[in-house]
Structure formats: structure tokens, C-alpha cells
Amino acid sequence: MTQYVDRDYLKIVGNVPPEVLDQFEAQYPGRIDAVIEAVCRVVDGRLAKRYATPFEHTAKKPAPEAIRMHVAALVSHQLRIMIGFDPGSQQDQLLVAAKDEAWAYIKEAADSKEGLVELPLREPLPGEKDKSGVKKGGPLSSSNASPYAWADQQRQRVRRSR
């Protein structure tokens, strides 16, 4: 499956220090990749009703940076749970806040009625415009100048279908 982040990206953008990640990977090989995969699938599950998931993610066509950044925050939180929190650390409180913000963003992107976030299918290449990634949607209603216009339109559709 598609992983939106890797260990190198997590070291750069994530909220766990790189040396802690290296030590954790040495102690528990493969566990970071498993957490990344699990978080990516949970995010895909949340977004699947509105977007065609998983997002395409290759070197030439990267997934939207907003998804990658928020997945990194969620993975960092999960890893910090495994590594252990420092009860007196204010940084750990910031990590929990980043996780909450990431989930709020994902939920906002998944909400087709009142959500304010719309994700592209992939990060645009240089000189390219964003293309919406919404796979389902459209107007929930329409309006006509005349209260009888809908009946005229329906009659025309029926006549055309014969």
C-alpha cells in the first residue's frame, strides 16, 4: 500500500527527535514502518467517502503535503506512546496538541457538507494548478427563475428519452 511518509520525512517534519527515532528503530526494527502504514490506512478510511484513497504517492507525483504533514503528526504521537511520554515535559503536551490538530484537519477534509478543507489529488508539479481530489460531490439543490421551470425541464427530459 501507499505510505505518505517515510522515516526520513518523519525525522524532518515529525515531532519526535531523530536520535530517538533511530534508537527506537534499532531496538524495534520495522515497528516505525508498521505504525506509518497503520496511520495511513486510518487516514484513508476517514477520507474514503469524499476522496479516491489511497492518494497516489510517488517521487514524481507526491501525495498532498497537508496529508503528509498531518500523518507525520499522528505517527509521531503513536510512536511517543510506544517510546513513552515524559510526564513533566511541555513538549509532550505540544505533541498531543499536534495530534488533536491533525485529526481535526482530517475530519474537516472528510466533511463534505460543512468542511472547509478540500485536498488536491496530489501535490501540483511546478507550474501546474491544483486539481481537486473530491471524487463525490456536487450541488445538493438547484434554483430556477420560475417555480414551474422544473416541470418544463422534466417534461423535456422525458420527451428526449423516448
Provide the residue-wise pLDDT of the chain in tens; the chain has 162 residues: 689 999 999 999 998 889 999 999 999 999 999 999 999 999 999 988 888 888 888 877 788 889 999 999 999 999 999 988 776 778 888 888 999 999 999 999 888 788 888 787 655 556 666 555 555 555 666 677 777 887 888 888 888 877
pLDDT in tens, 40-56: 999 999 988 888 888 88
Beta-carbon contacts of 37 under 8 Å, excluding residues fewer than 6 positions away, are: 1, 3
Q: Which residue bears the cell 518523519?
A: 10
Provide the pLDDT for residue 102: 94
pTM recorded for the entire structure: 0.73
What is the C-alpha to C-alpha distance for residues 7 and 115, in angstroms, rounded to an integer? 30
Provide the pLDDT for residue 9: 93
